[in-house]
Amino acid sequence: MPENYEVCLRNECPLKETCLRQLGAQEPRKQLNYIRIVNPCLVKNVTDKCQFYCSNKPVRVAYGITHIFDYVPSIKHDVLYHAVKYYFGKWNYYRVYHRERPIMPHEQEAIQQIFRNNGINEPVVFEEYKEIINW
């Protein structure tokens, strides 16, 4: 768990079995002088939906975009390259390109949609996939 991760202390929460914030509160953090918690006033009446809920289910992230343009017709290469770069922004594109940051599932779908919008219907295949806990 990241050091500054906000935990939830609501013991009677119906989502506590699968929420990372609840599970994080149960983990011993004796080495820390302070912990960050979700405001108890904002979660006291939660039933089945919570704005702070973070699922403990692993997500499939991707790494590596250096080859996603390999099979793109040259006439569409520049358009797609600039669209993907624009989507991430210059700094995040650099980090994704150099595999310093994962491509989250919603970002993978956005890239796929950029390709579809430009007439490329084949699935975009990234270089590597991993299952991670999305803290």
Claim to verify: residue 98 and residue 74 sit in the same structural domain = yes
Claim to verify: residue 64 and residue 48 sit in the same structural domain = no
40-49: which pairs have CB atoms within 8 A and are 24 or more residues apart? Answer: 40/9, 40/10, 43/8, 43/10, 43/13, 44/10, 46/10, 46/13, 46/14, 46/15, 47/14, 48/14, 48/15
Domain span at residue 29? 1-57
Kindly give the confidence (pLDDT) of every residue in the chain, 135 residues in length, as a single tens digit, with 9 standing for 90 and above.
787 889 998 888 888 899 999 988 887 666 777 888 899 888 887 777 888 999 999 999 999 999 999 999 999 999 999 999 999 999 999 999 999 999 999 999 999 999 999 999 999 999 999 999 988
Claim to verify: residue 36 and residue 68 sit in the same structural domain = no
Claim to verify: residue 67 and residue 128 sit in the same structural domain = yes
Claim to verify: residue 10 and residue 65 sit in the same structural domain = no
DSSP, collapsed to helix, strand or coil, labels residue 104 as coil
Claim to verify: residue 47 and residue 64 sit in the same structural domain = no
Claim to verify: residue 74 and residue 14 sit in the same structural domain = no
- What does pTM read for this prediction? 0.81
Claim to verify: residue 4 and residue 68 sit in the same structural domain = no
43 touches 72 (CB < 8 A):
no
Claim to verify: residue 29 and residue 41 sit in the same structural domain = yes
The structural domain count of the chain equals: 2
Claim to verify: residue 40 and residue 93 sit in the same structural domain = no
Claim to verify: residue 53 and residue 65 sit in the same structural domain = no
